Amino acid sequence: MDYLLNKFTSSGPKKLKIALIGQSNFAADVLELLLSDGHEVVGVFTIPDKGSREDILAVTAKNHDIPVFKFSVWRKKGVAIPDVLEKYKSVGANLNVLPFCSQFIPMEVIDGAALGSICYHPSILPRHRGASAISWTLIEGDSIGGFSIFWADDGLDTGPILLQKEVEVEDSDTLDSIYKRFLYPEGVTSMGEAVRLVAAGTAPKIKQTEEGATYDPPMFKEENQIINLNQPAKAIFNFIRGLDSVPGAIAYALDENEDEVMIRLFGSQMFDDPIPEGKPLKLKGLTTPALVTEKGLLITGSDGKVVNVQRIKKGSKMISSSKWFDQTSGQVTLELTDAEKAIETSLKGIWESILKVDITEDTDFFACGAGSMDVVRLIEEVKDAYDVGLENETLFMAPTFQEFFTQLILVSRQGSSSGVINVEYDGFVLKANKREISVPTQLFINGKFVDAENGRTLDIVNPTTEEVLCKVALASKNDVDVAVKAAHEAFKGPWSQVSARQRGQLMFKLADLMEQHKEELATIEAVDSGAVYTLALKTHVGMSIDVWRYFAGWTDKIEGSTIPVNPARPNNVLTFTKREPIGVCGLITPWNYPLMMLSWKMAACIAAGNAVVLKPAQVCPLTALKFAELSVKAGFPPGVINITAGTGSITGQAIADHPLVRKLGFTGSTPIGKKIMASCAESNIKKCSLELGGKSPLVIFADCDLDKAVRLGMSAVFFNKGENCIAAGRIFVEEKVHDDFVRRVLKDLKTMTIGDPLNRSTAHGPQNHRAHMEKLVEYCEIGVKEGAKLVAGGKRVPGMKGFFFQPTVFTDVEDHMYIAQEESFGPVMVISKFKGSDVEAIVKRANNTEYGLASGIFTKDISKALLFAEQVEAGTVFVNTYNKTDVAAPFGGFKQSGFGKDLGREALNEYLKTKCVTIEF
């Protein structure tokens, strides 16, 4: 091993006269370090300005009054340019330091300093000699990376080694990540260490071996950036991450005419999950088309394994790969506060300081010549200036000033950084359905999960096992007050600044997150409420997702109208209406469809622009709390959505009584609905909508399709184990087919599988909670006592743990009986006969109740169907079907089944107020 001869006295290391040759923040940091060590930097040599933009190294040198020289080239035709060489010699350096140099420096300069030249190289030489060493470390799948500081010679990266540092390359590393966490910070420190060794005369010169030496093609040449897709998935993954950030791996998409469209791929990761549904995208060189899915762009390698690509760049525009087939979404328009307008002005100043150009809305960061270090600088300055965490990816996805500014404001309003948002909470891990699901158990107030006052909790019981699942925070009156005030502040503040279209985008994102987590949500719903998993997946969760997307589409279509009025001549008058959100809305939801009832009400409420405080059912609040976690990840500002679990008598009553709550939406029993309505009147005459009990009639005529009537009639009663507000509480069967109908029902009941709701073959799960099951037992006992004929069920399932109740059938039921008048809300079929000759008579019997939620009729006679639909007193009428609800169809009842609508356009009216404006001119 050779060492540098110490040309100084034995008194110790001497301060050097250094010429610094390089560029970028890396070189600027090395400059600052050398100055702090007391060395004299006699000259800085860097690249010419890009337009009016100086490299940061030049700016830093000028701040220290160091001479700066900017050469576009150092030699011509292999010969050093005399003028350039003369200027270099003029500074009188005894050591050249090249910390990040992209130019070819002639040997007259390399050897022009008495102590020679030391250079930083981002690889463990001799492996990956060349300009793209970092990229090739990743492309080749090296397990070890690092950097070398070597003595420059007349070869290319072949001089003796001064020092080297290594790092383990992680599977998740990209060019950006390995540079940020190791190559940059350790590299700067090590450059200072190397200069100190030179100054001390102890710097080694270790000759490079040729064993294992490689020289790799430069990746700044476009032809070298084209990815070979006909190779194993791991190689595809490595190539993409090796070119991540810049410039990106080039692939060619084939359009419908088989024309090639150049794209660049970013953000690769190996994909081991089940392949989701998606749309095929043809890529040149790929035998099996790639798949555009909600997870990203899935590319299958030659070994059958799959790579997921997160981002695609087409032209100068970066998009999420999952949005490849949806590239026409409009630009978000923001209504800015005064503070946000000030941010816009100062952000332009930051862009100007980096790009050295006048900034307009359309200024493209990269089209102005910005490089990867400029990206880092911008993101860091934004963090420092506005305390908002963004990632480099944000700029790649939004490269123009207006796009980037919009993203900055959206994130600042959300109060969180872009990318994955981690939500902190206390909870438990639900181990079920071959999953481990983290579930919050605290209240959700003002964007955070918090304990209830005094730490009060309530037990949540699994209806299948009768065991306590967890303890959930029990909201007090004071907790509700905090939540309502948070909602009020959000409504008056940041939520009011979110445009209608942006509101819709947040709702769409929330729906997407719900879909991504649908199996988790359905599992929670099955365990917490007893819903059969397959039904929970399709209806409880599936319809919830649909309703959020449906109302997301309404956000920017809420309109007023102009009204012709009589003016007082000679003046003119313009009168128009505005539809405005009400303010803070309280929502109280039931236990039969926990997530779906939340979504039915809240989606319309949020679409209209309100803020919400919701009390989920006391016995099954877990999906509501998991939903709250997803709302944070979707980006809803704190306070817009609040979830206060608790009891009806305390938590629910506090919401109904609160003076800042201006609207209350309630689904539950009629007796509680009456109390709610009284509280709304007494507190502040708040608007309310009530979806209450039902005793829905289903009339089956002999001329119907009896097979269909039996199948759907059973569904009308036993769907969701009878815990269904529109369940057919009374079935009237024409006497001609009565016995046949009953026989078929009893036969089909024998095939109904009762058991664990997570079992895919289960058709009938446990009732929601013990009190309800006991109420059903009592209900059936009353029916028998009054003389109805019990032909099936009527009891708890014997020998079975859990709140399982037998599917039950009563016949010979007369209209005056208790079970003909009162709702069971369980799997109890109540059958009465009628004669088909008098249609009006059966309609009269159907209306002989105080409830009017839903109804149904099976007949092939259109006249009977229309007469029934016209005369029946019910908010919903099903003809030759049942339970056929849709997010676009309004839902609500008459009489003591309540008033107001969920779903459909009409639901928006429940959460809006109309303002009339008259202008005389």
Residues serving a catalytic function are: 121, 691, 725
Give every CB contact of residue 414 below 8 A, 6+ residues apart in sequence: 635, 636, 637
Burial of 7 (0-12, 13-18, 19+ CB in 10 A): exposed
Q: Is there a contact between 336 and 499 (Cβ–Cβ < 8 Å)? A: no
Cα distances from 297 to residues 156, 229, 245, 319, 732, in angstroms, run 39, 13, 17, 12, 55
- Residues paired with residue 857 on neighbouring β-strands, in sequence order: 699, 879
| Helices vs strands, H then E, count in the chain | 28, 42
Token pair for 863: 């006249």
- Tell me 53's DSSP state: B
Q: How far apart are CA 370 and CA 401, in angstroms?
A: 13
Give SS3 for 419: coil
Token pair for 872: 């029946």
Give the 3-state DSSP-derived string for 476-527, with helices as H, strands as E and coil as C: CHHHHHHHHHHHHHHHHCHHHHCCHHHHHHHHHHHHHHHHHCHHHHHHHHHH
Give SS3 for 249: strand
Burial of 848 (0-12, 13-18, 19+ CB in 10 A): middle
Selection from 875, 537, 866 nearest residue 697 by Cα? 875
- Residues paired with residue 254 on neighbouring β-strands, in sequence order: 260
Give every CB contact of residue 380 below 8 A, 6+ residues apart in sequence: none
Burial of 116 (0-12, 13-18, 19+ CB in 10 A): buried
- Residues paired with residue 391 on neighbouring β-strands, in sequence order: none
Q: How far apart are CA 504 and CA 554, in angstroms?
A: 8
Radius of gyration of the chain (CA): 36
